[in-house]
Structure 1
């Protein structure tokens, strides 16, 4: 993202690798140095965006809710369950989204 100072994705990109390797079969007639266009379906884009952005937040809220229902006397359990849910969602996302 060229507008890294004004774009949340660009800011996050500074903390990760700046390249991605795709291992896909190629059509004949493509040589090293040629530019290629990669396409992604809208359903795949939606599911990945959901897994990266929405799923961890939902897991945070669900974990907090479970902590509140199981241990209503203290907020420490609610916070702990929320953090556990969030971290679990991040690990699941890292494992399943490649």
Structure 2
């Protein structure tokens, strides 16, 4: 995590690749859960709620794993920068939830 514009762009690329892999992986993994047609006479809240909660839990688990992995590999002076990426990932999780349904 050295300073510089190119280093920041490289970490941004890694972040975007991580987000895409996690989103499409979880979308594939959770494809059998929930109901895609929300305009039904039956209640679709419970199956979709289970899908949303499962997505959130798995996403946070993967995020925590990556934070532990990266924080053990970078020098201690750069660990404070890691939290910016975590906050950005949590905001991205909300966006991915909307795209999931």
Which has the higher Rg, Structure 1 or Structure 2?
1
Q: Give the TM-score normalised by structure 2.
A: 0.41
Indicate the structure with greater helix content: 2
